[in-house]
Amino acid sequence: MPLTPIDIENKEFRKGVRGYNTEEVDKFLQTVSREFEVVYTENFELRERLQRSEAELKNYKQIETTLQQTMVLAQQTAEEVKHAARREADVFLKEAELEKERLLNEAQRKWEHVNEEIEELQKRRELIRTQLKTFLRAQLELADAFEQEQREQRDRVS
């Protein structure tokens, strides 16, 4: 059992034949008791401070562990977000590439269609031109024939 200042102060010694001076022993024990009480109180306070410090240290270690876990989780989340963004960008680029190809193919089909229509119109123009030439030649021949007939009739009448 630990020794306390009260134990020192209340300690009584048996008296012997040639024992110590009782007053001196009592004064010394009082002085030792006061000094021991100061050291005992300091020791008690230091133990309490140590316990509080250990509790704070434990709390700080828990906070540190939590922060480390949070950092790891944040890094993992950041990596996941980056990967998701890359995948989304890849999908977006593929979709854009497909849309570009679709638009190019559609434009190519329209271009070909317009060219076909132009060729068809050119053929129709040539056909109409040929028909018009033929018609005009026929009309010219008719006009020439009519004129010839008119001359022949005048020549006969005259």
Digit-coded pLDDT (tens) for 67-82? 999 999 999 999 999 9
**Residue of 44, 47, 8 lying closest to 27 (CA atoms):** 8
- pLDDT value at 1 more than 70: no
> What average pLDDT does the structure give for the chain?
91
Q: In this structure, are residues 33 and 11 in contact, taking their beta carbons and an 8 Å threshold?
A: no
Digit-coded pLDDT (tens) for 2-38? 777 787 777 777 776 777 777 887 888 888 888 888 9
Kindly state the helix (H) or strand (E) to which residue 57 belongs, with its residue range: helix 22-157
Cα–Cα distance between 76 and 9 in angstroms, integer?
Answer: 66
Share of the chain above pLDDT 70, in %: 98
In angstroms, how far is CA 115 from the centroid of its own chain?
49
